[in-house]
Amino acid sequence: MSTPKSCLLVFEDGETHRGTHFGFDGESCGELVFNTAMSGYQEVCTDPSYRGQIVLMTYPLIGNTGINLEDLESDRCDLSGFVIRELSPLVSNQRASTDLSSWLAEHRVVGIAGVDTRAIVRKVRTHGSMRAIISSVDGDPRSLREKVTAWPGIAGRDLVQEVTCAEPCAWTTGLDEPFLPRLEQSTEGRPRLAVLDFGIKRNMLRGLHAAGFDVTVFPAATPAPAIREHAPDCLFLSNGPGDPEPLGYAIETIRALALTGLPTFGICLGHQLTALALGGRTVKMKFGHHGANQPVIDLTTGRTEITSQNHSYVVDGDSLDAGMVEVTHVNLNDKTVEGLRHKELPLFTVQYHPEAAPGPRDAFYLFRRFAETVASGAT
């Protein structure tokens, strides 16, 4: 058996961790964040919201179920790097078509294993998300620190244009299981839903289709007049990567459609962009929410949900007009805003992911709530 190749993880402050290489043989910079999900690494790797970030999995053993084509959330692996404690030497899943290391190599993602992931998480929780670099080709920590300090980071950058679809397309696939009752169909058929793709995951589209919508996906920069040409009955604003503030084109489209009465549902980045369109502001979190175990209370029902989340920015609730916008969901760990509702328009948003890929199914009701909102024309 060959000796595993050495690999380095170097932070912008110079702290260095030495481990073993897997995946693509090369190097890459990114903002290091940690994900607390115990399963679902495949869905994490294919979530476009991680564009520009190096992801550390806190669960210690990764790769044991390999990679299968059915559970991909996009066609790409948008991570800048992958950090784990231990890579499973065996793949034990009848659906697996390849192993994690080979798949990451195919998608040009560098991985490092054998590092103290607990110490790294403690560093990030203490000092906040930091720029880092993973390299299997440069063994000089000083050289790597120079490279990572020269990397611009994700703040102020439009990462959405790197992950959105190229042209409008229909989505016609539902869910394998009956998560949701279908929307009662009128004689005119399924409501026409326009989806603005800021980096959408496939299971969101499956959930929307299962909820009874006729789904058409549009590139993120599609202007409002071009969307209106398709005569949509409603609008969906998807998840996506990075800082929402540079996306002026999306904010303009949201104002032109959602704030003129088109029933709208926004998730994650779509939630943040809606807040900006309403005159609010967003702020960068210390280390974000990344995982499948965040408790959120729905203030409209008093019910608590365990949710899947992936975001580094959050809406500042105090920046919103309380006479126009109501906070509907709050994170029980840090009291951050997790959901909004317009008091007069059929418009609501949540910060978390209801599509359960990976994670719990507690929030699937939101797809049904959106369908009911469209059917009734009320919030």
The residues annotated as belonging to the active site are 268, 353, 355
CA distance to 33, 166, 190, 196, 273, per residue, from 80 (Å): 11, 22, 39, 24, 24
CB 55 within 8 A of CB 81: yes
Tokens representing 3 are 């000796």
Centre a 10 Å sphere on the Cβ of residue 377 and count the other Cβ atoms it contains: 10
Tokens representing 155 are 């703040």
* Alpha-carbon span 203 to 358, nearest angstrom: 10
Q: Which residues contact 97 (CB under 8 A, 6 or more apart)?
A: 66, 67, 68, 69
CA distance to 22, 174, 196, 200, 278, per residue, from 7 (Å): 9, 41, 39, 32, 46
Q: Name residue 330's beta-bridge partners.
A: 297, 337
Count CA atoms closer than 13 A to 27's CA, side-chain side.
22
CB 14 within 8 A of CB 7: no
| Amino acid at residue number 216 | T
Tokens representing 306 are 């365990």
* Alpha-carbon span 347 to 340, nearest angstrom: 8
Tokens representing 114 are 């054998």
Q: Name residue 10's beta-bridge partners.
A: 16, 133
Closest by alpha carbon to 296, among 344, 363, 379?
363
| CA end-to-end distance (rounded Å), the chain | 62
Q: Tell me if residue 321 falls in helix, strand or coil.
A: coil
Q: Which helix (H) or strand (E) is 251 found in, with range?
A: helix 248-257
Closest by alpha carbon to 242, among 25, 361, 14, 80?
80
